[in-house]
Structure 1
Amino acid sequence: MPDSPLSDSPYEVLGVPSDADAAALRLAYRRALRSAHPDTGGDTARFHAVQRAWELVGTPEARAVFDRGSRGGAPAPTREAWAPAAPNARRDSRPLARSYGHPGGLSRERYLGLIREWAGRGVQLEDPYDPALVRGAPRDIRHVLADALAEEATARSLATLGIAYTVWHDVATDAAGPGHPPKLDHLVLGPTGLFAIQSEDWGAPVILRRNELVGEALDGERPIRALAARAKATGRAARVKPTALIVVVPDDHAEEPLEVGGSIRGAVVALVQRSRLASAVREGLPGSAHLGGTEVMEVRSRLQAVVRFA
């Protein structure tokens, strides 16, 4: 199971309450494994999720570790699951892309406000990222934290593009979508184009159909339409036009590493797995316009003059 605030807990995967006794847990595991087994018409992903759930809570020792809030079956401080990561020393000297803004910053601010409001006025939260607390929060609050983590993961990937690229994170716009703040998660400029990128984690797979994303977890959202509106607002202010609109999701939430659709106002639409993002930007999307060196410099100057951060 992916380490996401929206992932089902092992108990939810097995269909039992978190206080189920060992016998009930074992019975639930056997039933879930039987119903999910591919040989009996089950789903392979579901089958692996059931096996992983049993690894996490199937023995008293593993269950005690999980219930204390650790991840991956080894004892760890609870904050390490979803708290902001400490800066790490670089392991090589390769130049990184120029980056501006604070990826995931606004989403983390929203999460902290929402989780404290949900916990109750006057309640002192020792650790707002305690996995036990996060798992008990309503889905909309967990979704905000999942978005923050997704934005941070995307930023780490984009940083590897190198000095030919410039990246702006959390760009303020005047075009908000339902349930979303008025911002563009990432704007990337380089010789392969100007990319407007949205980082998402809905906790479930999505597919690209007719230039829009479709999936049970979307609950009426139209992510690409909203991304196009934000990209248009930013481009209008700088008098530039994005060449691509990308929604990036966790690898297991998209069937293909890169799925390219049509275009919206001249910008090519794509759904990209997180691990494929950097190469997709570096190579450029099929049908998306590349930019000459002089043009890149001119677009960068225009954007630097108008970009504000959320």
Structure 2
Amino acid sequence: MFDSPLSASAYEVLAVAPDASDDDLRRAYRLRLRQTHPDTGGDAALFVQVQRAWDLVGTADARAVYDRGHGFSAEPVSFAPESATWRPPGRPVDTRPRARSFGQPGGWRRERYLTLMREWVGRGVALEDAYDPALVRTAPRELRRMLADALAEEATARIVGDLGMGFTVWHDVAADPHDPEAKLDHVVLGPSGLYALLSEDFGGPVRTRRGELIGEGVVGAPVAQLVARARALARAARVKFGGVIVVLPDDDVILAIEELGKVRGLPVAVVARSALSTVLRRGLSGARDIGGNELFDVRTRLQQTIRFV
């Protein structure tokens, strides 16, 4: 939650200034607990945020660590072979078979973020670290959203990459050749079916209503867009999706797995990131398993059709 470029800081959640005294911080915490407690009409998700904020700044040691800042990784996910990856001496090599992966997760958003950040800082001004927490926190929401989405896509890529050799994954798949933002973050093919994934970080709690996402940071109709893009790729490749999945940070959902039924004929689920492997291995309700020659045929059709942004 608090390590997202979009999320409020612990001090903002507690409604207190970063330089508040320990006594003021403690009073603010107690007040926010009363304001957000579900038993008094408060919001359960906000109540949890208040408790986590206190965990981060409630003691002198914890506050000192928090105040030093939380970085946002400058290194995108890489699918380079293990033999080409540096590691400290003595670190064991992970020899488990991984899913076949194509494309660069979060790549387009990373590039866009860096371009916009340079424009925002201004020409002639050296941009020493585009991922410096202090700089990121002061950037316009559009920039922070771009970075948050890139990090979300990379986090999902790590999970699906560990599904094993029975799965094939494509990242940053173009859904409209004329619009790079009209993309599918991930397409995952495995024995449980074919799924289109949207990796998001809205910077706060997200709920569902009538088959769509709602929340303070939600703009537009993400589920409807995801379904439309999946259907477009399905037509182009002459394949059938088993469903679509929206992947969100664990702290931003009430249920780890929430199946919303069908939208335009496709099963839809909103899934906490930590539950994604479980869902992809078992499949969604109503989705058809794929095996044998059919799995090979679907993979071939997608490989021949998919283009990357």
Alignment pair present for 1:299 and 2:290: no
- State the match for 1:74 in structure 2: none
Q: Which amino acid aligns with 1:93?
A: T
Give the distance between the partners of 1:198 and 1:176, measured in 2 at CA.
20
Q: Is the 8 A contact 2:191 2:290 kept in 1?
A: yes
1:269 and 1:49, CA in 2 relative to 1: closer, same or farther beyond 3 A? Answer: closer
Q: Is the 8 A contact 1:245 1:270 kept in 2?
A: yes
3-state DSSP of counterpart to 1:299: helix
3-state DSSP of counterpart to 1:218: coil
- Measured against aligned partners, the alpha-carbon deviations of 1:119-145 in whole angstroms (never above 9, x if no partner) come to 222221211111111111222221111
Q: Is the 8 A contact 2:259 2:270 kept in 1?
A: yes
Report the CA distance between 1:25 and its aligned residue: 3.8
- State the match for 1:123 in structure 2: 125
Give the distance between the partners of 2:52 and 2:210, measured in 1 at CA.
35
1:167 and 1:207, CA in 2 relative to 1: closer, same or farther beyond 3 A? Answer: same
- State the match for 1:228 in structure 2: 227
Greater displacement, 39-48 / 257-266? 39-48
Greater displacement, 137-146 / 27-36? 27-36
Q: How does 1:160-199 map to 2 (within 5 A)?
A: 160-174=162-176, 181-199=181-199
- State the match for 1:248 in structure 2: 247
TM-score (norm. length: structure 2): 0.86
Give the distance between the partners of 2:63 and 2:255, measured in 1 at CA.
34
Give the distance between the partners of 1:297 and 1:48, measured in 2 at CA.
45
3-state DSSP of counterpart to 2:202: coil
Q: Is the 8 A contact 1:175 1:229 kept in 2?
A: no
Alignment pair present for 1:260 and 2:259: yes
Q: How does 1:107-146 map to 2 (within 5 A)?
A: 107-146=109-148
Report the CA distance between 1:200 and its aligned residue: 0.7
Give the distance between the partners of 1:43 and 1:256, measured in 2 at CA.
15
Q: Is the 8 A contact 1:173 1:230 kept in 2?
A: yes
3-state DSSP of counterpart to 1:216: coil
Report the CA distance between 1:183 and its aligned residue: 1.4
Q: Is the 8 A contact 2:76 2:106 kept in 1?
A: no
3-state DSSP of counterpart to 1:217: coil
Q: Is the 8 A contact 2:172 2:183 kept in 1?
A: yes
Q: Is the 8 A contact 1:185 1:198 kept in 2?
A: yes
- State the match for 1:203 in structure 2: 203
Give the distance between the partners of 1:23 and 1:176, measured in 2 at CA.
56
- How many residues matched? 298
3-state DSSP of counterpart to 1:170: strand
Instruction: Note the residue ranges of structure 1 that are not aligned, 5 or more in a row.
Output: 71-77
Q: Is the 8 A contact 1:172 1:307 kept in 2?
A: yes
3-state DSSP of counterpart to 2:203: coil
Alignment pair present for 1:270 and 2:269: yes
- State the match for 2:161 in structure 1: 159
3-state DSSP of counterpart to 1:290: coil
Report the CA distance between 1:52 and its aligned residue: 3.5
Report the CA distance between 1:69 and its aligned residue: 1.6
Greater displacement, 200-209 / 282-291? 200-209
Percent same amino acid at aligned positions? 57
- State the match for 2:284 in structure 1: 285
Give the distance between the partners of 1:159 and 1:91, measured in 2 at CA.
16
CA RMSD of aligned residues (A): 2.6
Instruction: Note the residue ranges of structure 2 that are not aligned, 5 or more in a row.
Output: 78-84
Q: Which amino acid aligns with 1:298?
A: D
Greater displacement, 192-201 / 110-119? 110-119
Alignment pair present for 1:93 and 2:95: yes
